Amino acid sequence: MRSPLSALFWRELRIARSVGGGGAMGVVFFLILVSLTPFAIGPDLNLLSRIGPAILWIAALLATLLGLDRLFQADADDGSLDLLLTAATPLELIVLVKCLAHWIATALPLVVASPLLGLTLAMEPESLAGISLSLLAGTPALTMLGAIGAALTAGLRRGGLLMAVLILPLTTPVLIFGVSSAAAASGGTVPFHIPMLILSALSLASLAGAPFAAAAALRARDA
């Protein structure tokens, strides 16, 4: 617990907790998004259970990305980012640890909450397990891709939308395979493990690549 990276990790978690209960807000946002859909679509349970996985995945996508926009912005504003550059720790590792803390504080609660929300959308039990597993496998990719967007917009002081606009298109593959593995879980022609493998591969690839992209973007900022 004495290394710089663990210090960073705990700092991030502590800050996340201080803001409206951190992860809790992400889950509540997720909950709200999921419950808005039936308001809009109407109370047709067949339809809802048909598009349930899609709703949950889109909501998770948005909750993850929107919580991310201040990942580096806050550090850039208060000068922490400059100081992190003078640490001996490579910036890539710093990015990775920040993402890890963010994933634990924001995405993990979504994974845990998703089966409950799926219930309100009248999804079947196998489907519920499928959605949880697919979120577990897929959200790391979302967080890492989002980190690239957050790094690109760190200096700009109006992240929010701009960051979402930059990164959302890149997340389409994750979304497609996420929904299809959730769908495969409740029967279908594709066996469950195929989209899950692809999803995990996407997550691994972005875990490997995104820290470099994000670190480069952070260094390129006109500080």
Partner 1 sequence: MLKYANPTNFLALAGRLIPWLAAATALSLGAGLFLTFFVAPDDYQQGSSVKIMYLHVPSAWLSMMCYVIMTSAALGTIVWRHPLADAAQKAAAPLGAIFTLLCLVTGSLWGKPMWGTWWVWDARLTSVLVLFLIYLGLIGLWQTIEEPAQAARAAAILTLVGVVNIPIIKFSVDWWNTLHQPASVFKIGGPAISGSMLWPLLIMAVAFTFLFLTLHLMAIRNEILRRRLRRLSIDAAHAEEKSEATA
Partner 2 sequence: MTSLLARDLCVDRGGRTIVKNISFDLRAGEALVALGRNGAGKSTLLRAIAGFLPLSGGRLSHTGAEAEIPLPELSHYVGHADGLKSALTAAENLAFWARMLARSDETPSPSSALQRVGLKRLADFPVAYLSAGQKRRVALARLFMAPRPLWILDEPATALDIASQQVLAEAFAEHRAAGGMILAATHAPLGLVDAATLDLGSAPADLGGNA
Q: Are 74 and 146 in contact (CB under 8 A)?
A: no
The correct pick among 40, 157, 169, 189 for binding partner 2 (CB under 8 A) is 157
122 binds partner 1 (CB under 8 A): yes
In the structure encoding, which two tokens stand for residue 49, read together? 């259970």
What is the distance between the alpha carbons of residues 66 and 180, in angstroms, rounded to a whole number?
A: 23
168 binds a second copy (CB under 8 A): yes
* Cα separations in angstroms, 4 against 11, 79, 110, 119, 129: 11, 18, 28, 42, 37
The correct pick among 32, 41, 85, 208 for binding partner 2 (CB under 8 A) is 85
The correct pick among 110, 152, 198, 199 for binding partner 1 (CB under 8 A) is 152
**Nearer of residues 57 and 103 to a second copy, judged by Cβ:** 57
Shortest Cβ 222–partner 2 spacing (Å): 7
Spell out, one character per residue from 49 to 78, where the chain touches a second copy: x when CB under 8 A holds, - when not: -xx-xxx-xx--xxx--xx-xx---x----
What is the distance between the alpha carbons of residues 78 and 59, in angstroms, rounded to a whole number?
A: 30
Shortest Cβ 219–partner 2 spacing (Å): 9
Q: Which does 63 bind (CB under 5 to 8 A by kind): partner 2, a second copy, partner 1, none?
A: a second copy
What is the distance between the alpha carbons of residues 60 and 175, in angstroms, rounded to a whole number?
A: 10
162 binds partner 1 (CB under 8 A): yes
20 contact partners, CB below 8 Å, separation of at least 6: none
- Among the residue ranges 62-70, 82-90, 177-185, 210-218, the one whose residues contact partner 1 (CB under 8 A): 210-218
DSSP H helices in 103-171: 108-120, 125-152, 159-167
What is the distance between the alpha carbons of residues 67 and 23, in angstroms, rounded to a whole number?
A: 9
139 contact partners, CB below 8 Å, separation of at least 6: 60, 64, 103, 107, 110, 111, 203
Q: Quick check: helix, strand or coil at residue 192?
A: coil
**Nearer of residues 34 and 196 to partner 1, judged by Cβ:** 34
**Nearer of residues 24 and 93 to partner 1, judged by Cβ:** 24
Binding site for partner 2 (CB under 8 A): 2-4, 7-8, 11, 14-15, 18-19, 21, 77-80, 82-89, 157, 222-223
Q: Which residues bind a second copy (CB under 8 A)?
A: 19-21, 25-26, 28-29, 32-33, 36-37, 39-42, 47, 50-51, 53-55, 57-58, 61-63, 66-67, 69-70, 74, 153, 156-158, 160-162, 164-165, 168-169, 172, 175-176, 179
